[in-house]
Amino acid sequence: MKAAVIVFPGSNCDRDLAVAFERAGADVTMVWHKDSTLPAGVDIVGVPGGFSYGDYLRCGAIAANSPICKAVVKHAEAGGYAMGICNGFQILTETGLLPGALRRNAGLKYICRTVGLQVATSDSAFTSAYAKGDTIDIPIAHHDGNYFADDETLARLQGDDRVAFTYAENPNGSVADIAGVLSANRRVLGMMPHPERAADAGHGGTDGTAMFSALMEQVVTA
């Protein structure tokens, strides 16, 4: 599997994401935000967490209009895989690849701790290693992680089984406790929690490791 990890000014989880891909067996290339193309043959693009462009305007809004994000959109629209974590999730909603928006946390405070996530579907390359209903422990670190979608969009997400993860105990006010969602073709995932920070026993947990291992197997098969 060939993976590309995008690097923006203000990214701070790009290396963590690259290491998680590499440990799963992927060949990883770091791609700068001013590049206009992705490396040839890329299977999956990782859009990492952090504070792209200093979180000016809406979080992720400037990054979504960067040269590389135009290539990411083309990659996804052609059926390629992509995952956005934390700020990456914000960026993918700003590009229109995923529905909804991420707003300021309900408590108006930055939250950084490990939370319980419930697996809402196992029907995706990202979640296939888990069983629906499993609870996994994954860290969060965000100030604008309050997922919002209007009633029509929410009904569509739930009806199409496109909610990937929900919070066991909602930390930020997200509608329907949503922590992650899938695109219509199930090949793009956005999630606020950080599975790449739960892929090394030395960091305190490994519940995210299965996600990257499953991706390696399923993306290569696809």
β-bridge partners, 111: 142
Catalytic residue among 33, 75, 142, 194: 194
Percent of the chain with pLDDT over 90: 91
Contacts of 45 (CB under 8 A, 6+ apart): 3, 4, 5, 6, 38, 72, 75, 76, 80, 81, 82, 83
Kindly give the confidence (pLDDT) of every residue in the chain, 222 residues in length, as a single tens digit, with 9 standing for 90 and above. Answer: 999 999 999 999 999 999 999 999 999 999 999 999 999 999 999 999 999 998 888 899 999 999 999 999 999 999 999 999 999 999 999 999 999 999 999 999 999 999 999 999 999 999 999 999 999 999 999 999 999 999 999 999 999 999 999 999 999 999 999 999 999 999 999 999 999 999 998 888 999 999 999 998 888 766
Catalytic residue among 86, 152, 169, 203: 86
How far is it, in rounded angstroms, from Cα 203 to Cα 213? 18
Q: Is the pTM of this model over 0.85?
A: yes
Please spell the DSSP secondary structure of 59-109, one letter per residue: TTTTGGGSHHHHHHHHHHHTT-EEEEETHHHHHHHHHTSS-SEEE--TTSS
Tell me the average pLDDT of the chain: 96
In a 3-state reduction of DSSP, which class is residue 43?
coil
The class level of CATH for 2-221 reads alpha beta
How far is it, in rounded angstroms, from Cα 107 to Cα 104? 8
**Is 112 among the catalytic positions?**
no
Enumerate the domain spans of the chain.
Answer: 2-221
**Is 194 among the catalytic positions?**
yes
- Structural tokens at position 175: 């509608």
**Is 77 among the catalytic positions?**
no
